[in-house]
């Protein structure tokens, strides 16, 4: 039984870690190679890896999506440890509008223009920091969604993830509040009720007391 409970706990934890890893913003140092636009089929389950820019896009089975092709500085440990190697990375560029995930991004066309403006060659590279969320998976054809881009002089720059720091601090505070709330609720509302029930059961005789004792785990 304990193994089952622990397994379920670990699965829930992994699920939330995955969701956060997918949804929270991350920063890549990139050099933009090209941008393009391509029609995408959206009528299978991988639809969840594409955004819903507006209401009609929910029902469309295909539509044009803009992409940004880059060469990216590789990192280890979610961007915390820089490396000297590069890889190619392709970002999609879609509005998220008013829907999940809540980036409230409406400036896809402007972002595409900024990306075009930053195009450069390996000989004369122009580096930029790309803020994005999402996963690149060649097998499922999923792409991270570009959120913002800004030019940087030094490709060795480290961007402090302020949003994520605040987010996890907030999450910890919220968790402690909910825990405090639950304890207060038990102490003030549930326990007195059980106490009353217990007393009523006491007066109702040994048999009833045994029943309630088993029910609430008290002797």
Site residues, other proteins (CB under 8 A): 52, 54-55, 97-99, 102-107, 110, 147-148, 150, 177, 180-181, 184-185, 188
Residue 45: cis peptide before it, omega within 30 degrees of 0 = no
Look-up: residue for tokens 């280890």? 76
Which CB sits closer to other proteins, 125 or 180?
180
Rounded CA-CA distance 181/175 in Å is 10
Beta carbon nearer to other proteins, 82 or 101: 101
Give the nearest distance from C-beta 174 to other proteins in angstroms.
9
**DSSP label of 122:** S
Nearer to other proteins, 147 or 201 (CB): 147
Backbone angles phi, psi at 107, to 5 degrees: -105, 35
Report the nearest approach of other proteins to the CB of residue 8 (Å). Answer: 25
Report the C-alpha gap between 160 and 114 in whole angstroms: 23
- Least Å from the CB of residue 5 to other proteins: 26
For other proteins, the closer CB: 110 or 206:
110
Q: Which DSSP category does 95 fall into?
A: -
């Amino acid at each position: 039984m304990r193994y089952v409970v622990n397994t379920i706990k670990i699965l829930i934890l992994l699920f939330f870690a995955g969701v956060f890893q997918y949804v929270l913003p991350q920063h890549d140092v990139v050099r933009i190679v090209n941008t393009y636009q391509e029609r995408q089929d959206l009528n299978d389950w991988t639809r969840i890896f594409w955004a819903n820019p507006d209401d009609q896009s929910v029902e469309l089975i295909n539509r044009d999506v803009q992409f940004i092709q880059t060469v990216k500085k590789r990192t280890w440990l979610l961007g915390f440890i820089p490396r000297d190697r590069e890889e190619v990375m392709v970002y999609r560029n879609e509005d998220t509008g008013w829907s999940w995930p809540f980036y409230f991004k409406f400036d896809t066309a402007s972002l595409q223009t900024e990306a075009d403006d930053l195009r450069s060659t390996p000989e004369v590279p122009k580096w930029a920091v790309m803020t994005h969320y999402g996963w690149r998976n060649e097998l499922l054809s999923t792409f991270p969604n570009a959120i913002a881009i800004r030019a940087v002089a030094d490709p060795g720059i480290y961007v402090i993830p302020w949003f994520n720091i605040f987010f996890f601090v907030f999450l910890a505070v919220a968790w402690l509040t909910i825990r405090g709330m639950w304890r207060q609720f038990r102490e003030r509302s549930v326990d007195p009720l059980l106490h009353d029930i217990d007393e009523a059961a006491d007066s109702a005789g040994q048999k009833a007391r045994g029943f309630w004792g088993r029910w609430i785990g008290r002797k």
